[in-house]
Structure 1
Amino acid sequence: MANSFKLELVTPLHKVLSEEVNFVMLRTTEGDMGILPNHSPFVAGLATGEMKVRNNGQEKFYYV
């Protein structure tokens, strides 16, 4: 089983990020959601807030 998954952050202007990550925490219209490798497929509306991306212990933060 893989311990990472491909994440792509895309805006109308350009691709912000494209890399393998271990964890993503983001805010949806239904509340905060954490995404781990091998998660079930889902569709959710994104809400305004901070997105945390973790890869091999290092964290990056983005504003959605």
Structure 2
Amino acid sequence: MLYGSALMIEMDAIRAVLFACQHGGFSQVVVESNSQVSINMVKGERVVAMEADSILFDIQTAIREFQK
């Protein structure tokens, strides 16, 4: 098993989509997820789980590259 939890899978999927959109030249992206915990962590509304800290850093860095 590559991941220790469903949270890690969700966070990695969000990161992968954002990176693909960056490389595709998109300036605006809407990300949907069925994981409210993941969305709340990305939005800064929930304490970050230690296991997802490095992935969340990548996500927040990628988000800055988009207009919206």
TM-score, length-scaled by structure 1: 0.23
Bigger proportion of residues as strand: 1
TM-score, length-scaled by structure 2: 0.23
Bigger proportion of residues as helix: 2
Q: Which has the higher contact order (CA 8 A, sep 6+)?
A: 2
